[in-house]
Every structure is written in C-alpha cells, then in structure tokens.
C-alpha cells in the first residue's frame, strides 16, 4: 500500500416548539413566490444545514425531535434523495457546483484527485454557488467544514471566494470534536482546544444569522447561510502527522457534548436482514469480509449511540436557528434545507462503520425542505432527487436563471409540482459514481502503525452505479472497475442481499416488469453507459440521449422496454466495461465512452441518419 494514498485520508483525513405555527397562504394556493412579479417580493432567505456522514436508513432522524417538530412537520421530507458520490469532498463539490463528480473531476478527498487544492485548480473557486448567489445580491455566510484538505497551511492559497462572512473548520483538526481549529474571514486560524466543536460552530452560526438579519432589515439584502457541523462523522485522532512516512491516525466513535453523553443507553444499530448476515454479500472486497464477532458488534452499537449523541447538538442548532428566524419575523420568508454529504453504514453487509459504498445506506441521505409554498408534514417517496439538483433548486428559489452546465434540475417545492412530476414518471434515476479507496472506521477498522500491515483500507473501490425508481420498480445496478456487476431488485430485496446478476438460475428465470431479466439489463446498462459520462441535459434526461428522435418520447425504463428497441439495446449500444482500476477519473481506464452519435434516431442510428 502506498503511503501517498494514505495521506488521502490525512489531510482529509423535548421542548415543544411553539413559535412556528403560521400557515402560509402560498401553501394553500400553491403559489410559488417565484411566480409573483419580481418587484412584488423580496428574495427569500436560505438557511442550509449540512451534516457530515448522516444516514437516512439507520433511524438517525428519529433521534432528532427538534428537527422533526420544526422542519419535518413543517416541511417536506424527500425520502428518495441520493448523493451522487458517497464521500465528503466530491459530494460537497458536486452539491455546491451542480455538477456530477465526473464533470468536476474532484473525485477524492486529497490531491491529486480531490480536496480543496483540486477544487481551486479546477477553477471552481470562481464558479460555484456562493459566488453566484453573491452576484445575485445575496449576503452569503458559511460556517463549519467546507472540503477536505482545506488546511491550516493552505486556507489562504487562495482564500475561499464568494462569502460575505465565513468561519471554516480546518484540517487536520476538522474531526477533533474537542480540538477544532476555525478560520474566520481573512483572519488567522484559531484553536478551540477543549471546547465542543458543534457548540463553537453554533455560536458562529447565530452570529452570522444576526448579521444577516440586520442587513436584511436595513438594506433588504436577502441571505444564504450554510451551517456545516462535523457531526456525526467519526472522531479522528492523529498520532503523527508525518506526511512523508505516512500519517498515523485512528478513527474513533464521534464525541458528544457533556450534556448528551448519557442519552440513548439502549439504542442499537437496527437489526435489518443485511446486518452482519450469515452469508457474505456484495462483490469485490465486500464479499470477502468476515462475519463480525460479538465484541465487534457491541462496539459498533456503541459507535452508533455516539453518533446519535453527537447529533443532539445539531438538533439544538436546528431549534435555535428556527427560533431566531421566527423572532425576527422571517421564518415564513426563509427556506431551510437540511441534508448530509453522504450516508453511512454500520454492520450492514458485514461492513465496519464507514461510507464510500453504493449500498442504499451510503447513498440515500435525509433531505428536508421547509419554506414558502413547500408542503407541510409531507413525505415524498419514489421521486428521485440528487445532490446535483440542489444548486439548481437554490437558483430557482433565488430567481436566478439556471446555468446551462447544471447536471441536475430544480427539485419540485410545491404540492402541484411534486404531484405533476410523480404522475409523469419524472425523476426516476440517480447516477452514482466512485473512484479509489474505501476505509473502515472505528476500533475494528483501519489501522496503520509503522512496521505493521495496513488493515481496513481498500483500493479499487471504483464503480459506476445507477439507482432507478419507478412506479413498478426499484433497482440498483452497478459495474465495478474489476468488471464485477451487481443488480438488486429493491422491491423484493430492499436490503440488497441477492445479486441477481451473478445468479445463473435467476438470470434465466427472473422477470422484471413482465420481461426477462436479461432484456431489462440491456436497458439498465445503456442508461448507466450514458450517465457515467453525461453532461448537463444528457444527465438530466439520459433516455432522451438514447432516443433523440422526437417520434419516440422515451423518458422511462418502461417506455424503453418497448420491443421496437430490442435490437438497438441488444446489439448496438456498447456495454460498460473497465479496462483497469484507477484511483481517479482516468478516462482511458474506463472502456468505451458514450457519445451522442450512438443515440437511436427514428428506426436508424443517429450516425446513419446524418
């Protein structure tokens, strides 16, 4: 194992709330504020809360009563929301640029493939959300973790652009819950040794909110405030920061604030069928994992409780921010968005605590939106939204024309639009991609000490995946860099334990949507083929790229399954294949590439038509 790759991780490395009761007239008439003439309204404010590694599928939301009472019950929970890369830095860059990782080429936490230096080198410091919002007249504020490899050494090379006010957590202290370093505006980094990171962050967030509210009242300047606590990420301790010989670090369970350490003594990771199963599951390195011992499982339950405890300080921030907005009379003019950079697994498929996989636990994250016109207490299922839809969503909230390069589209924020998109089978796909390492966290995970073997660190965790959800199907299809494939039918197998692709009996006999599995697979492979290298509109409507003819109107799996297209899918569209595994986006390693001449036009291929 190369030490250079290791350094990838280093730099990286119930009170009931009373004030929120007003019923918005917008909600009743489905009058989106954007439909009002510009001069009739002030632009709405935006508060964006971004947690680190928070799951949707291990019940973390049920342990956040304030989040529930202030946001979920007064807003909409988008229950099929996916990240497009299950790792902090790439996911955050995609979120704040509206571009998939293969279009940012920020695919890792550290150079050469990722981290803050790569973000800067790729020019995104001048082309990303805070800059655009600022240009559109917003006051822009950020506190907390931005990207990995944004450090006490490089924070001013150059400074992050686009913010009216900022106060960032910096590496290598980002993940030290009681030894954080923050860096405010153009000031020098400041250590907060001994203080609890999330509480330090809370005070900074309230300070920015007060400033923003004042400017809103005095100068009618709308605001965007991002609050990005490190919870519930694992705590990371460094024994040595020796970059040359490889850092020694250890990931431990996250730490709670003193007032929360006693909570949830009986909580355990939900014992779903995929929890530490008797039979191995997945492919590649995952399939080789051993069943976890009782001690290991007990430790992982402790790790789980620590996550829930660490989230309590975040839950208080949600309550306090909402209360402050209500006090200022701005709660109903403000969109509050709550999400996480990626999901998390503990014990499912025998995995140690961590992320980086394509399983549902890792790619599905909470997305809760409260604001003018957004349905209250609504849970939206089966409408796929992704992190690259968030920048376009914020643009539409702020009334800014969408950028042509966006890979996503605005998330519907009203009853009418949600209903319309569901009815027309819009939003069925999420393209998911990953390059490079997977790292197991916690006591039984990654360890590396001088002179010892490295354990809990896997390279070649490179894959392309497709999550597809329609009225009659819920599928996950992936192709790995060693050319292993996975296909799960989540309607019948929600815990992803039966890989249909590798079971020869099932390949022959299994039916999906009334068709043989093999036929459906051809469609899925083609769709993923497009998604893995798409840009802009092609990412938004990949079926249209496969069927550019206006005679076809193919916009869903069901429509693509029409037998008229059998020959095209079976014989003409190339199959996805990798030539080798790489730790970053090296196109030459990734086999055939989609180009639009491959699209089917009328009865002919586009290339034959022109």
Ligand X SMILES: *[C@@H]1O[C@H](CO)[C@@H](O)[C@H](O)[C@H]1NC(C)=O
* Per CB under 6 A, 580 contacts ligand X: yes
* Residue closer to ligand X (CB basis): 319 or 554: 319
| Count of Cβ atoms closer than 10 Å to residue 65 Cβ | 17
Among 447, 459, 549, 558, binds ligand X (CB under 6 A): 459
* Residue closer to ligand X (CB basis): 16 or 610: 16
Altogether, the residues listed in the chain come to a count of 610
Least Cβ distance, residue 75 to ligand X (angstroms) = 12
* Residue closer to ligand X (CB basis): 69 or 386: 69
Burial class (CB in 10 A: 0-12, 13-18, 19+), 439: buried
Q: List the x/- string, 198-237, binding to ligand X by CB under 6 A.
A: -x--x-----------------------------------
Q: What is the DSSP letter of 10?
A: I
Among 31, 134, 154, 191, binds ligand X (CB under 6 A): 191
Q: In sequence order, what DSSP letters do the residues of 271-317 get, joined into one string? A: --TTBS-SS--SSHHHHTPPPPPHHHHHHHHHHHHHHHHHHHHHHHH
* Per CB under 6 A, 584 contacts ligand X: yes
Contacts (CB under 6 A) with ligand X, residues 272-331: 313, 316-317, 320
* Residue closer to ligand X (CB basis): 500 or 554: 500
* Per CB under 6 A, 379 contacts ligand X: no
Contacts (CB under 6 A) with ligand X, residues 518-547: none
* Per CB under 6 A, 586 contacts ligand X: yes
* Per CB under 6 A, 18 contacts ligand X: no
* Per CB under 6 A, 62 contacts ligand X: yes
* Per CB under 6 A, 3 contacts ligand X: no
* Per CB under 6 A, 68 contacts ligand X: yes
Among 292, 460, 478, 496, binds ligand X (CB under 6 A): 460
**Between 390-398 and 88-97, two packed helices, what is the crossing angle to 10 degrees?**
30
Least Cβ distance, residue 513 to ligand X (angstroms) = 18
Nearest CA-CA partner of 51 in 226, 176, 189: 226
Least Cβ distance, residue 178 to ligand X (angstroms) = 9
Among 27, 490, 506, 536, binds ligand X (CB under 6 A): 506
Least Cβ distance, residue 33 to ligand X (angstroms) = 27
Q: In sequence order, what E strands does 317-450 have? A: 334-340, 367-370, 378-380, 385-386, 429-434, 438-439
| Count of Cβ atoms closer than 10 Å to residue 444 Cβ | 19
| Count of Cβ atoms closer than 10 Å to residue 570 Cβ | 13
* Tokens at 412, concatenated: 């519907």
* Tokens at 228, concatenated: 């990005």
Q: What is the DSSP letter of 29?
A: H
Three-state SS for 530?
helix
Least Cβ distance, residue 567 to ligand X (angstroms) = 29
* Residue closer to ligand X (CB basis): 108 or 428: 108
Are the C-beta atoms of residues 503 and 599 closer than 8 Å to each other? no
Q: What DSSP element (H or E) covers 348?
A: none
* Residue closer to ligand X (CB basis): 511 or 567: 511
Contacts (CB under 6 A) with ligand X, residues 239-278: none
* Residue closer to ligand X (CB basis): 14 or 38: 14
* Per CB under 6 A, 607 contacts ligand X: no
* Per CB under 6 A, 193 contacts ligand X: yes
Least Cβ distance, residue 142 to ligand X (angstroms) = 18
List active site positions. 88
Least Cβ distance, residue 580 to ligand X (angstroms) = 4
- HSE-up (13 A, CA, CB side) for residue 129: 30
* Per CB under 6 A, 377 contacts ligand X: no
* Per CB under 6 A, 181 contacts ligand X: yes
State the number of binding residues for ligand X (CB under 6 A).
30
* Tokens at 348, concatenated: 């499912």
Stretch that binds ligand X, among 221-229, 399-407, 472-480, 503-511 (CB under 6 A): 503-511
Among 17, 142, 173, 216, binds ligand X (CB under 6 A): 173
Among 8, 11, 61, 369, binds ligand X (CB under 6 A): 61
Nearest CA-CA partner of 99 in 133, 76, 122: 122
What is d(CA 97, CA 104) in angstroms, rounded to the nearest whole number? 8
* Tokens at 299, concatenated: 């430790």
Contacts (CB under 6 A) with ligand X, residues 105-134: 105, 112-113
* Angle at 38 (CA atoms; ends 37, 39), nearest 5 degrees: 95
What is d(CA 407, CA 49) in angstroms, rounded to the nearest whole number? 22
Among 134, 252, 503, 555, binds ligand X (CB under 6 A): 503
| Count of Cβ atoms closer than 10 Å to residue 443 Cβ | 17
* Per CB under 6 A, 79 contacts ligand X: no
| Tokens 């119930």 belong to residue | 14
Contacts (CB under 6 A) with ligand X, residues 397-436: none
Are the C-beta atoms of residues 248 and 238 closer than 8 Å to each other? yes
Terminal Cα-to-Cα distance of the chain (whole angstroms):
50
Three-state SS for 566?
helix
* Residue closer to ligand X (CB basis): 388 or 398: 388
* Residue closer to ligand X (CB basis): 27 or 586: 586
What is d(CA 539, CA 304) in angstroms, rounded to the nearest whole number? 36
Nearest CA-CA partner of 534 in 451, 467, 595: 595
* Per CB under 6 A, 581 contacts ligand X: yes
* Residue closer to ligand X (CB basis): 107 or 334: 107
Contact positions toward ligand X, by CB under 6 A? 61-62, 68, 72, 105, 112-113, 173, 179, 181, 191, 193, 199, 202, 238, 313, 316-317, 320, 459-460, 503, 505-506, 580-581, 584-587
């Amino acid at each position: 194992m190369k030490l250079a790759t290791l350094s990838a991780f280093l730099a990286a490395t119930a009170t009931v709330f009373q004030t929120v009761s007003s019923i918005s007239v917008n909600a009743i008439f489905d009058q989106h504020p954007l439909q009002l003439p510009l001069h009739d309204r002030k632009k709405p404010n935006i508060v964006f809360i971004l947690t680190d590694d928070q799951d949707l599928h291990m019940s973390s939301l049920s342990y956040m009563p304030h989040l529930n009472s202030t946001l979920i019950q007064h807003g909409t929970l988008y229950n099929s929301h996916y990240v497009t890369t299950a790792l902090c830095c790439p996911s955050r860059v995609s979120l704040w640029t509206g571009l998939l990782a293969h279009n940012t080429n920020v695919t890792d936490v550290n150079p050469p493939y990722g981290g803050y230096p790569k973000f800067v080198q790729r020019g995104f410091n001048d082309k990303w959300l805070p800059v655009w919002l600022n240009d559109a007249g917003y006051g822009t504020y950020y506190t907390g973790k931005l990207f990995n490899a944004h450090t006490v050494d490089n924070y001013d090379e150059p400074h992050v652009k686009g913010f009216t006010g900022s106060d960032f957590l910096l590496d290598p202290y980002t993940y030290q819950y009681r030894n954080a370093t923050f860096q405010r505006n153009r000031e020098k980094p400041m250590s907060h040794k001994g203080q609890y990171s999330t509480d330090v962050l809370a005070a900074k967030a309230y300070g920015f909110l007060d400033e923003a509210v004042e400017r809103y009242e005095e100068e009618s300047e709308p605001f965007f405030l991002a609050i990005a606590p490190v919870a519930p990420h694992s705590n990371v301790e460094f024994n040595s920061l020796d970059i040359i010989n490889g850092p020694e670090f250890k990931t431990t369970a996250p730490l709670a604030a003193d007032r929360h350490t006693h909570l949830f003594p009986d909580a355990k990771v939900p014992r779903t069928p995929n929890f530490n199963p008797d039979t191995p599951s997945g492919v590649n390195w995952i399939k080789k994992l051993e069943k976890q011992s009782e001690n290991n499982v007990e430790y992982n339950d402790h790790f789980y409780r620590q996550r829930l405890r660490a989230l309590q300080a975040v839950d208080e921030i949600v309550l306090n921010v909402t209360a402050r907005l209500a006090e200022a009379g701005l709660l109903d003019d403000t969109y509050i968005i709550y999400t996480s950079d990626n999901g998390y697994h503990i014990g499912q498929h025998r995995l140690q605590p961590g992320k980086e996989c394509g399983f549902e636990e890792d790619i599905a994250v909470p997305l809760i939106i409260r604001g003018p016109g957004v349905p209250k207490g609504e849970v939206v299922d089966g409408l796929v939204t992704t992190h690259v839809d968030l920048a376009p969503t914020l643009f539409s909230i702020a009334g800014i024309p969408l950028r042509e390069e966006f890979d996503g589209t605005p998330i519907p924020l009203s009853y009418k639009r949600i209903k319309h998109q569901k009815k027309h089978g819009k939003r069925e796909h999420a393209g998911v991609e990953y390059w490079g390492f997977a790292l197991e966290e916690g006591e039984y995970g990654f360890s590396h000490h001088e002179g010892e073997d490295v354990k809990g660190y896997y390279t070649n965790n490179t894959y392309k995946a497709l999550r597809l959800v329609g009225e009659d199907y819920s599928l996950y299809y992936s192709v790995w860099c060693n050319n292993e494939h996975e296909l799960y039918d989540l309607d019948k197998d929600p815990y992803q334990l039966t890989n249909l692709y590798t079971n020869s009996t099932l390949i022959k006999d299994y039916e999906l949507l009334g068709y043989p599995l093999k036929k459906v697979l051809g469609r899925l492979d083609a769709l993923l083929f497009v998604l893995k290298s798409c840009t802009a509109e092609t990412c938004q409507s990949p079926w249209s790229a496969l069927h550019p003819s206006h005679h076809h109107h193919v916009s869903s799996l069901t429509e693509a399954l029409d037998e008229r297209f059998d020959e095209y899918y079976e014989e003409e569209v190339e199959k996805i294949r990798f030539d080798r595994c790489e730790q970053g986006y090296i196109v030459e390693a990734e086999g055939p590439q989609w180009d639009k001449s491959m699209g089917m036009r009328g009865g002919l291929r586009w290339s034959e038509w022109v």
